[in-house]
């Protein structure tokens, strides 16, 4: 029986994960930056320009949102530490999205590096 860790490890072996030093460039040039954390995590702070789509609703939101349905869009995904983003990227590949990357270390690494975030007032 596989664990969550096993599934994340398997996903990371099949998706493109970029190191933090390439993340700002990727975020600036992506069509869509997706935060796949939970709503309260997103509300507490997120990358500038990111939109929120919880990992648990990803497939439904992609299928039901005309703005996100084009397989020609480039996506950068992130979560807290990169596990959920890797799982989300894997699912997106299975759905036919081809330009999907995730950020190694996720939001925590981004914040630790002093990169810009949007936080509530």
pLDDT tens for each residue of 61-89:
999 999 999 999 999 999 999 999 999 99
Contacts of 94 by beta carbon, 8 Å cutoff, 6+ apart? none
Domains for the chain: give ranges and CATH numbers: 4-111 (3.40.250.10)
List pLDDT tens digits, range 8-44. Answer: 999 999 999 999 999 999 999 999 999 999 999 999 9
Question: Alpha-carbon distance 26 to 94, whole Å?
Answer: 22
pLDDT value at residue 54:
96
Which residue do the tokens 């894997």 mark?
90
């Amino acid at each position: 029986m596989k664990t969550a860790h096993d599934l994340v490890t398997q996903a990371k072996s099949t998706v493109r994960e970029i190191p933090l030093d390439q993340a700002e460039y990727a975020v600036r040039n992506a069509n869509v930056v997706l935060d796949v954390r939970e709503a309260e995590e997103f509300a507490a702070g997120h990358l500038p320009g990111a939109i929120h789509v919880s990992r648990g609703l990803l497939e439904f939101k992609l299928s039901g949102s005309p703005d996100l349905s084009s397989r020609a869009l480039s996506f950068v995904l992130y979560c807290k530490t990169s596990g959920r983003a890797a799982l989300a990227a894997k699912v997106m590949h299975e759905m036919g999205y081809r330009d999907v990357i995730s950020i190694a270390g996720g939001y925590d690494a981004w914040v630790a590096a002093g990169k810009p975030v949007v936080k509530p007032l």
